[in-house]
Chain A
Amino acid sequence: MSVKREDLLALIRQITSEEVVEIPNSTPYGIIVKKEILLSVCDQLHKNSAFYFDMLSCVTGVDNGPEAGTMEVIYHLYSIPFNHSLALKVILPRENPEVESVASIWKSANWLEREVYDMFGISFKNHPDLRRILMPADWKGYPLRKDYKHEEYYRGVKIEY
């Protein structure tokens, strides 16, 4: 079940005066937020008793490719008592992508954001422990970027595939 649209827009209007952009064809319903206000929006959504998003289910990174020149981070929130969900999207430039970490609000963001950092090289400000998680620490490049080319050799061994 998606969250009530009018209430959500009213909440966002309290934080920023700018126009709210919706994500087209998104299930569940989602909005695009500016990266500057992400942390305050998340904080309100977590605390406000009308929304009470107590669970951060998923953090996804998306690379739109070198032509588009943008990357996205998508947060899927869920509220257990109200049984409604919401997607928040942040659009970042491809050069030095950086966004505020939400690990201070939801602890599950800790590992989920580390994974996004590992795969896309999006760095999260004020993250408690930003290290690579799935790839080795000395791995070069970010594998899920669209223009990623794998290395020919790893430690002197030729990589066949």
Chain B
Amino acid sequence: MPVNSATERKKSLRQVIAEHNSDPGALLDILREAQEIHGYLSTAVMEEIADQLGIPVSRVYGVATFYTLLATEPKGKHIIRVCESPPCHIRGAVNILETLQEVLGVNPGETTEDKKFTLELTSCLGVCGVAPAMMIGDQVYGNLTPERVKEILKTYE
């Protein structure tokens, strides 16, 4: 969960970096933890990390944009990741995605106007036995149908 006050966030970020001994080799871990604190990786956060680690900010930005689980733009409260790997595709992932697009009114990569949901695609979630599948936050949902997707979304009201 994002930490609330700006000063607290700043403090937590410094703490995270200190815990990793300002080691540039720990950049990925630091970015992940920074995102937990801030919700996403803003330019200012990446510059702070670059300064503390003594590396160019371009490298921080490059790593942040490489990994789909890291975000350089603000995201919704809940991130929905729809699996687009072949097993889910065969089992109807396209219908699931269409349903989500219809209900939320956003395309993959976009965030709803009320900042509640961000819709994303993901590669295999490793739960092919219950395909088609998606994640909302850390929660995995399988055996999806358009009806079930609508029901699940309601629980996030």
Q: Do A and B bind each other?
A: no
